[in-house]
Structures are given as structure tokens and as C-alpha cells.
Amino acid sequence: GQRELRDQSYPFQNMPCLPLQESLKQTSLYDFHRHHGGKMVAFAGWSLPVQYTHSHLESHLHTRQHCSLFDVSHMLQTKVFGRDRIKFIESLVVGDIAELKPNQGTLSLFTNERGGIMDDLIVTSTSDQHLYVVSNAGCRDKDFALMKNKVKEMKAAGCDVDLEVSDNALLALQGPAMARVLQAGVSDSLAKLPFMTSAVMSVFGVPGCRVTRCGYTGEDGVEISVPASRAVELAELLLKDSTVWLAGLAARDSLRLEAGLCLYGNDIDESTTPVEASLIWTLGKRRRAAMDFPGASIILAQIKEKPKRKRVGLTSSGPPIRQHMPILSPEGKAIGEVTSGCPSPCLQKNIAMGYVESDYSKLSTALTVEVRKKSCPALVTKMPFVATNYYTVK
């Protein structure tokens, strides 16, 4: 296990990451990454750092113990304006967006008419009369087309709604030291900014930054939407605190897996429903009653009848569990497949998630995973694997 954890070549098994090719998009921090020793790889059409000078293991543990800075500018950031903006977004997602308080956000899902997940996204209802939406880079074209077509359709019906793509950079500062580090650069108390809320503020003298208390690591953290022309300046200012290390896609992947968070394209996609993916909590109560989101009849029928398969967490010792490995019942029958897996730096055992037939989805069910033609014992385990530390105000 330890040798595996130290092995620099393993980190990135879950994300579809390729050697650099021509015509990759670059974030405004591309030269900054190179300057700081970032090892660049292709991810979702972008050139992004997989790691820097520290090993993946060191970077992962540093985020859990202190804090790390990630460039997530590849994510699609959109703003939705107009009187009918709530009606617009609720015609595409499963969540209750109308009930959000000013500057409160929620994780939601775009679904299709078959109940499949088209993407996961965070929607914030800002106090500035617009919705702020952050969705995945890999679904950028699909998401934008979906939203643009809906705007066109609603405008034709006389609705008031407009869409704007933000070209801001997006920096994620994640880890238990985040609040101390960031507080030095903002005037308002971060104690007043709980998990999944957002505010516009000046950060270390860079005005007009939208700071949202969220992230993809399971730790307390923020994502800072910053004008692209000042992103490098802000990153350098954050790095002035020696607690802050730069982190890349490798650590981001193992951190989110320990936190039990889905990666779109691996753990959820258009063939999985919110019910199968154990994401029923994203369905707004009012929305369920009204059955007025795409795929509602299929999704609600699945809640009633129980789906055929479910996303579960798995733990094991021995060789690492990887995406696409078959999951078998104790009798050796194929009952599902691993969708993400890696050795957990914090737990020093293998963690994974995947889909199994619902009969086998109960916690502590003993299963096996087929690793290179060998059967390795695995246990259905509650997620998150590592306790999350979000900053919530009681």
C-alpha cells in the first residue's frame, strides 16, 4: 500500500487525463503553473497541472492538514438574468431554486427526459438579481447549448431571461487553514459566510471577487471567481502565506473520492439517474410534488419501486481498485462495476465507488472486486470515507 501511495505515476487513474496535445485551452494561470513547476496534462480539453513539485501524497495530506490552492478556471461559469430566471433554471434542474435565500447556493443536477444526469452544477441565487451557475468543463458545450436553447424558447414565449458566460478565473482555496489565510485579505468576517453561501468582496486588494464557501475536497474551503486579468496576482498573494501550497488534479481527485463526491463522466452520466446515484437529496420537495423537472416521472417511479442498481462506496486492502473493474457477489456473479477508485492517503487502504445491483447495496455487505483476474475482498462502506469538515453555522 505505501509503495503504491508513493508511486508518482498512479494518482490520476480516475480522471480522463491525456498527455498534452495541441489546441488545448489554457486558463489565465497557465504560465503561472509552469513557473511554479506544474506538470501539465490534458483534462476536458484544457491544459491543467496534475501536480507540482510535491508528490501527490504530500499534496493530498497537506490539503487535509493545512490548505491548498487549485486552479479550477476550466469550469463553466454562467450568470442568468431576468425576471424569469428561477422559472428558467427550474425547467432544467431538479432542485428547489426558488426557496434559496439571497446569496445561498445548492448542488443540483441537469436531467434529461429519461431521468439521466446531464451534469451536476452549483446554482447560487445572488443578491445582485442574477443566478450564478458553475458547471463542469467536460460538459461545457452541452450545458451551454442546453441553457441557450431554453433561453431562446422562453424568450419566444415572452419570458424575461438572459444568459451571460463569465470569463472570470476560478481559484479554489481548500483546507482547515483556509479561513485564517483568507481572513487576512478580506474586510468582512468569514464567520458570517457558511457552507454554500456566497458574497462579492475585495480579496487582498483585488476588487469584485465572488467568494463562495464550497469546494470538492470535503474540507472547509472557498471558490473565488476573480477577473481573469488579476488571477495570477491573487494567486501569488495567497501563496505569500507559506501554509498555502499549490495542488493539481491528482490531489483533487483523491480528495473528492475520500469525501464521497461524484466525478461527472465517471460516477454519474446520462445513463445514471439521481436515484441510482444516491443523489435523491438534490430533488426539491416542492419539485417532487409538482413533478415539473425533466425526467420526473421516471425518477419518482424509481424512488417508489427502488432502482435496479445503486452507487455505493467500497473499501479493500491489497492491490488498488480502479475504474471499470467488475464487482462480484460472494458467489462470484458479476453485479456491477467500479466507477472511481484509488488508494486513500488518509485511510491507507483502497477506496472506490461503483454501481451494484440494489440487493447488494447494504452497508457492510461483503463483495469482491476483480483486479487483474484475481478476486479481492471488498466491503460496502458508508461515504464519505473521510469525515467532511464543511463550515456550517448551527
Task: Give me the residue spans of the domains in the chain.
Answer: 25-73+168-258, 74-164+273-306, 308-384
CATH code matching the domain that covers 25-73+168-258, chosen among 1.20.1050.10, 3.40.50.920, 2.60.120.10, 3.30.1360.120: 3.30.1360.120
Contact 73/28 with Cβ under 8 angstroms? yes
**How many alpha carbons lie under 13 Å from residue 228 in its C-beta half-sphere?**
12
Residue holding cell 432544467?
Answer: 92
At 171 the three-state DSSP class reads: strand
Q: Which residues are annotated as a binding site for substrate?
A: 223
- How is 312-372 classified by DSSP, letter by letter? EEEEE-SSPP-TTPEEE-TTS-EEEEEEEEEE-TTTSSEEEEEEEEGGG-STT-EEEEEET
Q: Judge whether 25-73+168-258 and 74-164+273-306 match in fold.
A: no
d(CA 296, CA 392): 31
Cα–Cα distance list, 125 to 104, 139, 392 (Å): 6, 22, 18
d(CA 7, CA 9): 6
Q: What is the pLDDT of residue 7?
A: 36
Collect all residues with Cβ–Cβ distance below 8 Å to 373 and sequence separation of at least 6.
none
Q: What is the pLDDT of residue 13?
A: 54
Model confidence, pTM: 0.94
The region, left, alpha or beta by phi > 0 then psi within -120 to 50, assigned to residue 314 is: beta
In angstroms, how far is CA 322 from the centroid of its own chain? Answer: 19
Collect all residues with Cβ–Cβ distance below 8 Å to 209 and sequence separation of at least 6.
200, 201, 202, 203, 224, 225, 226, 227, 234
Q: What is the pLDDT along the chain (394 residues), one digit of tens a residue?
A: 433 333 333 445 576 555 556 699 999 999 999 999 999 999 999 999 999 999 999 999 999 999 999 999 999 999 999 999 999 999 999 999 999 999 999 999 999 999 999 999 999 999 999 999 999 999 999 999 999 999 999 999 999 999 999 999 999 999 999 999 999 999 999 999 999 999 999 999 999 999 999 999 999 999 999 999 999 999 999 999 999 999 999 999 999 999 999 999 999 999 999 999 999 999 999 999 999 999 999 999 999 999 999 999 999 999 999 999 999 999 999 999 999 999 999 999 999 999 999 999 999 999 999 999 999 999 999 999 999 999 998 6
CATH architecture of the region 74-164+273-306: 2-Layer Sandwich (3.30)
d(CA 30, CA 156): 41
Neighbours of 187 (CB within 10 A): 8
Task: Give the orientation angle of helix 249-258 with respect to helix 56-65, to 10 degrees.
Answer: 50
Q: Which residues are annotated as a binding site?
A: 223
- Quick one: which H or E segment has residue 232? helix 231-239
d(CA 210, CA 188): 13
Q: Which fold has domain 308-384?
A: Elongation Factor Tu (Ef-tu); domain 3 (2.40.30)
At 26 the three-state DSSP class reads: strand
d(CA 66, CA 49): 20
Cis, peptide link before residue 384, omega less than 30° from 0 = yes
Residues paired with 309 in a beta bridge:
357
Contact 355/339 with Cβ under 8 angstroms? yes
Task: Pick the closest to residue 254 from 171, 325, 174 (CA basis).
Answer: 174
Residues paired with 131 in a beta bridge:
80, 125
Q: What is the pLDDT of residue 393?
A: 82
**How many alpha carbons lie under 13 Å from residue 313 in its C-beta half-sphere?**
20
Residues paired with 67 in a beta bridge:
244
Burial class (CB in 10 A: 0-12, 13-18, 19+), 314: buried
Q: What is the pLDDT of residue 394?
A: 66
d(CA 349, CA 280): 28
